[in-house]
Chains A and B, each alone.
Chain A
Amino acid sequence: MRIQLVESARGAAVMAALGIATGGGYWFSALALGVTLLKCLLIPTYHSTDFEVHRNWLAITHSLPISQWYYEATSEWTLDYPPFFAWFEYALSHVAKYFDQEMLNVHNLNYSSSRTLLFQRFSVIFTDALFVYAVHECCKCVDGKKAGKELTEKPKFILSVLLLWNFGLLIVDHIHFQYNGFLFGLMLLSIARLFQKRHMEGAFLFAVLLHFKHIYLYVAPAYGVYLLRSYCFTANKPDGSIRWNSFSFVRLTSLGLIVFLVSALSLGPFLALNQLPQVLSRLFPFKRGLCHAYWAPNFWALYNALDKVLSVIGLELKLLDPNKIPKASMTSGLVQQFQHTVLPSVTPLATLICTLMAILPSVFCLWFKPQGPRGFLRCLILCALSSFLFGWHVHEKAILLAVLPMSLLSVGKAGDASIFLILTTTGHYSLFPLLFTAPELPIKILLMLLFTIYSISSLKTLFRKEKPLFNWMETFYLLGLGPLEVFCEFVFPFTSWKLKYPFIPLLLTSVYCAVGITYAWFKLYVSVLTDPPVGKTKKQ
């Protein structure tokens, strides 16, 4: 173990020296290095079952042949990510064997020696390098003309901090344990390439990303429509509407070819083994319930809460028969199928229809009123948010899909900054139930305060010449998060309600945050729909 520690120390020292030596650009390296050091300090913190999930996948990909990967079920945490991620785990496993051979045994369930922990944590930290590179590329896309002279007031600096030191990403990746860092790196990199007019690379990166984690299908409509509208149609009429005869068949085929080749590379082996149905059933498990164990703060959380309130009222007013109410209710926090009591039950198909209906206006906007990469980014965020709000079995970690791209918009316009702050603060707060252990309580509070204070104050300073970012209602709402946290973590555990209604803190958290996230979604939609069409002023 000491060898690995020393290696990492040496690596850090080299990076430090390089950072100092790069002169003018040293602030970015300092930020990246600083957050990497913080991630190293988070190594001994609590980790969730996701740690065992990834250890299991390391074992499966290392010890078993490809034909067994999607059939192996010794552990309950079966492989349910697309093949590229499986190959990624396979590559990691070849480094893992130098740390601890035992973790690669499929039957070593819940194996977590100190070397295993060290290897897994370091693998997340190292793969974050792709995220750092992507942030660097995104900073190039940010317009810094109206910035002040001070470094800390430049949009590039603020954006780097908002992305590199993002609270949600830190606690989900480096405490809870996941590999979102490099995946979001791929997404941000593909967005940056689209901003830089390198559409083929952007498409390629996104196709690769889809085959790493299929949750990014949520934002695929934005990519598809944007590339079709703004890349395949090479020119617009003066008023901004589509010019049908500028359609480039070459571009369309090249895009199609990219997607096809990537998919072939990923799914090809499994197609050849006739395992495609099995793979798809692993990737899209619809037997899980409408809401995750901890309710994601989306529309269905509000729906469920309303249902619960109505059923309680109904019981009190004797409008409902107590015998007809199903025993196992959502509020006990279990992942299972259930039925609503008062309001109509929700099926996966219903959520799909709701999601599609929510996405459609933004996609239409992207088609009929294209505003270049910025319009694409807004559509992407709206797709991500709409899927979060109306999707089936959404995990609250999925809010990061909307928060991270929104950071790019936040340093551009004051209106976007205000929406971003509401979305981010409530989204990050909704991640609190993920870390429920006592030693992590100060960490999550300190890091949350750090990120929130910095983001609000820096964006306020950036846009100080425009009207204030928040109105009184929004300020009250955000300030209300403080008392909510105090009640849920410090007051409630000592009251008598803890035994009778243990789910109340989770219920309150998700409902309160759902209000904020829905409000941010609504505000963003309004700003997208009411934006004046581009046509005359801006170029593509």
Chain B
Amino acid sequence: MEKWHLMATVVLIGLTVRWTVSLNSYSGAGKPPMFGDYEAQRHWQEITFNLPVEQWAKFINPDWIALHSSRGYESQAHKLFMRTTVLIADLLIYIPAVVLYCCCLKEISTKKKIANALCILLYPGLILIDYGHFQYNSVSLGFALWGVLGVSCDWDLLGSLAFCLAINYKQMELYHSLPFFCFLLGKCFKKGLKGKGFVLLIKLACTVVASFILCWLPFFTEREQLLQVLRRLFPVDRGLFEDKVANIWCSFSIFLKIKDILPRHIQIIISFCFTFLSLLPACIKLTLQPSPKGFRFTLVSCALSFFLFSFQVHEKSILLVSLPVCLVLSEIPFMSTWFLLVSTFSMLPLLLKDELLMPSVVTTVAFFIACAVSFSIFEKTSEEELQLKSFSISVRKYLPCFTFLPRIIQYLFLISVISMVLLTLITVTLEPPQKLPDLFSVLVCFVSCLNFLFFLVYFNIIIMWDSKNGRNQKKIN
């Protein structure tokens, strides 16, 4: 591309912000005996090194992963090593996917593509969790993004291979699996199930099965081992939710303690039903009318449905919703920016526990400014811009005075931002009352949950009302 140097500048800014955030504390720093995610990752390195063989880590420092004796190992050099691995993984997988995605956006000027890349790379949630709290989400999200790219550009086999790798890296990616399935199935149907479509279906099935077998081969030796892996991956024994998370069950439990009232298997069934009922309309629509745009929005709404209604959800799972929202940043900048700010805010209790207040505030403000300047979001709040035109027209058939939707949305945005800022200030400065020590975390989760419900409705409206102007919209996009 002609302005490669500006894109290089953007990538360098993204990398600099990531590394400076990583200079801060990590999850569980200096807090024995449980420590946190940082220790978890180190522990997994310990296990995978000592049990099967992985020679490369041996050259750096064997003390870091000596079986048993390295539990709770914390040192400057080791921290540097761990942080560097995250940066390299990011640089190899996630960042190229983002750059390529932005370059492939259609009918947008080069400057806007670069601005889009800047905003995606500055998204605070991923930076703070991967480089602050410490995880390797960029690997799975990166692979998922390669999957989205492949499938949108009609390289279906490569796309599905990438997505299988993503799932096998982190099982949370199953949140994205339904849209992939529906989109690819829809493509097969469109090509005609008797001819090319059927061939494509067979090829896809083979790719998926082959990649799964390849990844799971070492564990196929015994049935018991396989079951053990599955039990670890899907810990249904742990309950409906753990800690404080911004989903329906946790918020609902403020009023009614479901966990205590209903038995375990009923909880699972209820959560299953709600999840699937909420995502079914969008998925059916995607199967019948597959389009890249519909695919992206369905990714958002499916992941959001799973986040809100599913079993044993962690607050970090919001990142699975944030990635698809980043992809639609160029189409609905105002709502996407709003969502991404709320998603970062919803993780506030976790970030405060890791002493990441300063990086959180700084990266959130930086992200907000980048989006506001790149997309002029405050000027793009008309019905057309919010993609609510067809919906409004349908409602106006019954209610002719329904013209106030953009204004309502603007007011809601203001209320949302003010409440987020206030809650942040309160959580940071005040002490919670003795009787309700978790008051502030619960409030944060409750407010975030309300916001997410609103977004669920909004995204579903966009998907369902997209059909009437489907062809016209395709020309614009």
Contact = CB atoms under 8 A, between A and B. Distances in A.
Q: Are A and B associated in one complex?
A: yes
Interface of A: 2-3, 5-6, 9, 12-13, 16, 19-20, 26-27, 30, 33-34, 37-38, 40-45, 150, 152, 438-439, 442-443, 446-447, 449-450, 453-454, 457
B362 A40 contact: yes
B13 interface: yes
Interface stretch (B20-28, B199-207, B282-290): B20-28
B16 A44 contact: no
9 contacts: A12-B362, A20-B372, A37-B365, A37-B369, A44-B24, A438-B80, A443-B20, A449-B12, A450-B13
Contact of B362 (A20, A41, A152, A457): A41
Chain B facing A: main interface SS: helix
A13 B365 contact: yes
A244 B78 CA distance: 72
Q: Which 10 A-B pairs have the closest CB atoms?
A: A457-B5, A41-B20, A450-B12, A9-B361, A446-B16, A37-B366, A40-B362, A44-B23, A442-B19, A30-B373
A45 B16 CA distance: 13
A43 B16 contact: no
Contacts of B357: 2, 5
B428 interface: yes
Contact of B369 (A9, A19, A44, A439): A19
A463 to B, nearest CB: 15
B243 to A, nearest CB: 22
Given A30-B373, A45-B23, A450-B13, 6 more contacts: A2-B429, A9-B361, A30-B369, A38-B20, A438-B77, A450-B9
B6 interface: yes
A40 B365 CA distance: 12
A67 B421 CA distance: 49
Interface of B: 5-6, 8-9, 12-13, 15-17, 19-21, 23-24, 76-77, 80, 84, 87, 111, 357-359, 361-363, 365-366, 368-370, 372-373, 378, 421, 425, 428-429
B283 to A, nearest CB: 38
Contacts of B5: 453-454, 457
Given A13-B365, A457-B5, A447 B16 contact: yes
Contact of A446 (B19, B23, B368): B19
Contact of A439 (B6, B23, B361, B368): B23
A13 B19 CA distance: 23
A41 to B, nearest CB: 4
A9 B373 CA distance: 19
A299 B357 CA distance: 47
B80 A453 contact: no
A27 B373 contact: yes
B372 A6 contact: no
B428 A6 contact: yes
Nearest to A458: B5
A16 B365 contact: yes
B373 A26 contact: yes
B358 A43 contact: yes
A3 B429 contact: yes
A443 B17 CA distance: 9
Contacts of A150: 111
B428 A2 contact: yes
Contacts of B363: 37, 41
Contacts of A12: 361-362, 365
A509 to B, nearest CB: 22
B61 to A, nearest CB: 14
A42 B429 CA distance: 24
A41 B13 CA distance: 12
A158 to B, nearest CB: 12
Nearest to A454: B9
A41 B421 CA distance: 20
Given A2-B429, A42-B20, A152 B369 contact: no
Contacts of A454: 5, 9
Contacts of B373: 20, 26-27, 30
Given A12-B361, A34-B366, A453-B9, A41 B17 contact: yes
Contacts of A34: 366, 369-370
A2 to B, nearest CB: 5
Contacts of A19: 369
Given A16-B365, A30-B369, A443-B20, A41 B359 contact: yes
B363 to A, nearest CB: 8
A54 B76 CA distance: 27
Nearest to B79: A439
Contacts of A16: 365, 368-369
A40 B356 CA distance: 13
Nearest to B421: A13
B358 A442 contact: no
Contacts of B76: 439
A41 B19 CA distance: 10
Contacts of B6: 152, 457
